[in-house]
Structure 1
Amino acid sequence: MSSSGVLKQKLQSLQGKKFTGRIDIKNSKGKEWRLYFCLSRLMWADGGYHPYRAWERLLNKYCPHLDHHFIDINKAKEFECWNYYLIVSLLQRFLITKEQALCLINEKIKQILFDIYQAENQEKLKYNFILVEDNFPEESGLKVSITLLKIETILNTVESQWQQWENAGLNRFSPNFAPVVKNPVLLQQKFKGKEKTYRKLISLLNGKFPLTELADKLNLTILKVTLWLKPYLEQDLISLVEIKDKSVQITLIGVTNHDYKITNTTHQQLIICVDDSLQVCQIMEHIVTEAGYQYFSIQNPLKALPEILKRKPDLIFLDLIMPIVNGYEICSQIRRVSALKDIPIIILTSNDGMVDRVRSKLVGANGFLGKPIDQEKVLAKIKASFRAKKSSKSDDASTTLEFKTETSP
């Protein structure tokens, strides 16, 4: 029996038992999916990747003309299945049709089941059956039943989708992960004579949109988009990265200029990248923001110093070769300003030579990072820079002596 056969076996075991309740399914990393049943028929599915952005995506896809001002998320957040409650509410107020409601429910369930199939293909999952007496409680958000799906019918559909995905050799690629260009220089060589296509590609593959959303933007199936990207993923020119869920920002009924944010806001360290290349700035933005830092890019080197003075970042990535003003000059300018003298500066360059390294240290740079941009190396530089900065605060004298020794010609 294949690993994904475990899910099928578990669901088929419910048939004829009139099971009302839910199944909680978890992987070893704490990812959880929930399947809700009424009399052994599927009523709803939730959890998994990006519940809020997945909800937004389905609304945009199946209810494109819906005015989001009519979505009372302040009320919905009281319920366990807040998104199901909202579907019922929209349907009862005739803001969406029955067909739209059914599409929202069917697609959500199929997405969750597909994700579980893929997770089962990677490891053994934990299943927990929770029985509900009579009916779901009010706080579940499932008091009203819109549709009850036969397990066999929906399993056949999802199984067919997974089989196609598996046959195409896409097992290890999650539709919930976002593609990002890892090596823009080599990728550009693959598109010689197709500059327009390459620019479009770079603008979309920025690590902000999971494959599901990218497929919608291109008006293609997820299978077609992933198959097209597969060669570049296998050549390590593009990589798939996990992204954070969106916060829900919807204006509530009767409330002006009020945002309900799901995520907590905390102080984030600011990282600035000064590079005249748009592609480099976009790649750096993805890496930095996904690591939880604030990010700001400067493509015009003449604006670098004023912007840095204004924003006072915690770390600067600085390109070495730029028009009009190069990285050496900008680094020297920064170090002449007393308020900026302690900000770590990492030099970015394609020329990883000893002369550049020595000269970079002489003008006050703290580190050196070669191009093309590599995510792991960028994150390692960030962590090392902040560790060094923290250490320097606890022992200014010794750090100053060490730095002087290191940078002496």
Structure 2
Amino acid sequence: MKLDTLLQEFKKCSLLQYNGKLCIQDLQGTNWNFYYQLGQIVWATGGLHPRRRWLRNMNLICPEININKIELRDENILVDYWDYLLLENLYHTRQIKQEQFNDFVTNTVGEILFDLAQQASVAHLSCEINQDTIFKALMISTSTNMFIKEMQDAWYDWSEAGLKRISPNLAPIIKNPEKLRQEVSKGFYTNFERLINGQHTLWDLAVKMNKSVLAVTNSLRLFIDKGIVELIEIPDLPSSITALQNSLNYKHNKQLDQKNTPLIACIDDSILVCKILERIIVSNGMRFIGIQDTLEALPTLIQHRPNMIFLDLIMPLNSGYQICEQLRRCSCFANTPIIILTGSEGVFDRFRSKVFGANGFMNKPIYNDKVMQIVHKHLQIKSPEINISELVVHD
């Protein structure tokens, strides 16, 4: 698949108002994932240096954030858009502004599209549409057509400058320091040596020098042509985001007495919400069942008879209100605790939820302590010694 064909896939997803993930892969197994919502690209992941890219954009757009205080917990490192989860959490906790959020998304998608354009010019790519991932994201002002136009312009300028074979993911390093000393001043050499050390990619240097990656690369061309500087491949940065691995043995869940172990159900069209809630529930010694299809919710619940139900408020086809009302009409669920999940803070929603028979109301994002507090309250069970916390950003 060449670039023109690839662009047609992007445009097709937009025209069809696609919701889901567009997966692109090269023969070496490198993946690029583009997440669509109502036909618009709202996020992108993958490529060679996802952590380096995330940290670089944090330093550029959100310099006030102390990256070392951000922790990525177990239930989030399993998803490939962990970077978006962190960004969204910073926004919801009001640590970054809407403008910063928009700029971060725009930069990220733009960089990945550029890398993909370059890869399409030299390698075979395959493309797959995956609708299993329904991505609920904050909408931004940049449209997919604008993303594509900016990528085409950037790639045209890069190619016209004779840089088609040079990837911004490469890192420059001084190959012949003695020759460099002969050609430049001592002060220039000191600064040059500090930056051109094989530790920073061309993308990284563009941010550090507050210049475009095209300008930075062009400024190094003379030294590259003279054999003073060479470009090398470097690995992704080890994440300064702390991945806290809990020493849990999930096999013990299979050995639990199934009859006496509470079963918690979640009805939510978001796979992510179900996954996070599942990790919290299972790690606290209980069983879990997630349901994304609202049409299958009632028969599935009747079959499994859960002890407690978490129910999303806003879903396609059937709302949380409607499902809650249906459940209360069934004698087997007349007294089952039902907790409404929503991103809304509205007092009216809380009141209406109680009218339809809900026992409680929990706002997103999902937090371990908040979930378990509700579970303990309604099921009157003891807290286990081991649990997994949610994605946390410390003040």
**Shorter-normalised TM range:** 0.5 to 0.7
> In the alignment, which residue of structure 2 is the partner of 1:213?
204
For residue 238 of structure 1, the aligned residue among 213, 221, 229 is: 229
2:48 corresponds to 1:49: yes
Counterpart residue number, 2:239 = 248
Look up the match of 2:81. Answer: 81
Distance 2:66 2:30 in 1: 32
How big is the shift at 1:69? Answer: 5.5
Q: Name 1:197's counterpart in structure 2.
A: 188
Q: Which residue of 2 aligns with 1:101?
A: 101
Aligned amino acid, residue 60 of structure 1: N
Does residue 130 (structure 1) correspond to residue 130 (structure 2)? The answer is: yes
- Shift of residue 198, structure 1, vs aligned partner: 1.6
Provide, for residues 312-360 of structure 1, a one-character-per-residue CA deviation record: whole Å limited to 9, x for no partner: xxxxxxxxxxxxxxxxxxxxxxxxxxxxxxxxxxxxxxxxxxxxxxxxx
CA distance in 2, matches of 1:178, 1:244: 10
State the partner residue of 2:115: 115
Match of 2:180 in 1: 187
SS at match of 1:13: helix
Alpha-carbon offset, residue 237 of structure 1 = 2.1
Q: Which residue of 1 aligns with 2:12?
A: 13
Q: Which protein has greater RCO, CA pairs closer than 8 Å, 6+ apart?
A: 2
- Tell me the TM-score normalised to structure 2 length: 0.58
Task: Write the distance in 2 (CA, Å) between the matches of 1:196 and 1:130.
Answer: 53
Does the CA-based 8 Å contact 1:179-1:210 persist in structure 2?
A: yes
Letter in 1 for 2:158: W
CA distance in 2, matches of 1:34, 1:235: 38
Structure 1 residue 156 displacement after superposition: 0.7
Please say if residues 49 and 236 of structure 2, whose CA atoms lie closer than 8 Å, have aligned partners that are also in contact: yes
Q: Partner residue of 1:61?
A: 60
Letter in 2 for 1:33: W
Quote how far apart the aligned CAs of 1:250 are: 3.9
Letter of the aligned partner of 2:90 in structure 1?
L
Q: 2: distance between equivalents of 1:107 and 1:20? A: 22
For the aligned residue pairs, the C-alpha RMSD in angstroms reads 2.1
What pairs up with 1:147-296 in 2 under 5 angstroms? 147=140, 149-191=142-184, 194-250=185-241, 260=244
How do 1:270-349 and structure 2 match up within 5 A?
A: none
| Partner SS for 1:26 | strand
List alignment gaps of at least 5 residues for structure 2: 246-395
Structure 2 residue matching 1:197: 3-state secondary structure:
helix
With normalisation by structure 1, the TM-score equals 0.56
- Cα distance between partner residues in 2 of 1:59 and 1:76: 19
CA distance in 2, matches of 1:21, 1:83: 17
TM superposition shift of 1:39: 2.2
- Give the Cα separation in 1 of the matches to 2:67 and 2:191: 29
Q: Equivalents in 1 of 2:127, 2:141: separation in Å?
A: 22
Letter in 2 for 1:47: G
Q: d(CA) in 1 for partners of 2:187 and 2:13? A: 53
SS of 2:45's equivalent? strand
Write the deviation string for residues 218-273 of structure 1: whole angstroms up to 9, x where unpaired.
Answer: 2221111100101222233211111111112246xxxxxxx759xxxxxxxxxxxx
Q: Quick one: structure 1 residues 89 and 168, their matched pair in 2 at CA, closer, same or farther if it must change by over 3 Å?
A: same
Which residue of 2 is the match for residue 320 of structure 1? none
| Amino-acid identity (%) | 29
Q: Is the 8 A contact 1:71 1:90 kept in 2?
A: no
C-alpha contact (below 8 Å) 2:61/2:104 kept by paired residues: yes
Looking at structure 1, the residues matched to 102 and 57 of structure 2 have their Cα atoms a distance apart, in angstroms, of: 12
Distance 2:214 2:72 in 1: 33
Aligned-pair distance for 1:175?
A: 0.9
Residue correspondence of structure 1 range 350-365 to structure 2 within 5 A: none
- Measure the CA separation in 1 of the matches of 2:131 and 2:230: 41
CA distance in 1, matches of 2:17, 2:147: 17
Q: Give the whole-Å Cα distance in 1 for the aligned partners of 2:51 and 2:12.
A: 31
- Runs of at least 5 residues in structure 1 that lack an aligned partner in the other structure: 137-141, 252-258, 262-409
